[in-house]
Amino acid sequence: MGFDLGNLLNQYLGGSSNTDSAQAADDFQRVAETAPRETVAQGVTQALKSDATPPFPQMASQMFDQGNPQQRAGMLNQILSTVGPQILGSLGGGSLGGVLGGLLGGGQTHVTPEQASQVSPEQFQEIAAKAEQHNPGIVDRMGDFYSQHPDLFKAIGGAALAIALGHIAQSRQQNDQ
């Protein structure tokens, strides 16, 4: 008997679930592997924007902390491609801008995994906050990135996972009508 995506997602319709965080993480992993990436990205984005979850910069920092060097570089590059290093140069009285300037010196436009290791989760939270202020669309872009890295998104906990799964279930239900 195969995996029934619809039945699993029905548990999350209405935005609440009686499952624990570990179950939500397992369910999210299965859905992320099975559902269309765009649908998963929309669910993740809705969780990042939800009033029932911590603010986006805080969740982004949490995922940054859990990421491996390649994922950290990917997160930084997503933000930099949206707002550019000049916007981020004003961070932290210029100190964080100095770190980014050092990382991106010499005309370099992408952060490497080694360079990303020099950025702390706290600094990334500051970067995410500034990026969201400058361009609220960064949340959508990061939602798409996190949908491609479900292991990162699972790190933010059961409530956000249940919200994402609820939105994925609603999207699936609307597409089936």
Q: Which long-range contacts (CB under 8 A, 24 or more apart) does 171-177 make?
A: 171/39, 171/42, 171/43, 172/5, 172/6, 172/9, 172/35, 172/39, 173/13, 176/6
Q: How much is the pTM? A: 0.83
Query: Using one digit for the tens of pLDDT, what is the confidence trace for 84-135?
Result: 666 656 655 444 555 565 555 555 568 899 989 999 999 999 999 989 999 9
The pLDDT of residue 86 is 63
CA distances from 131 to 75, 105, 142, 150, 160 (A): 12, 20, 11, 22, 21
Residue type present at position 79: I
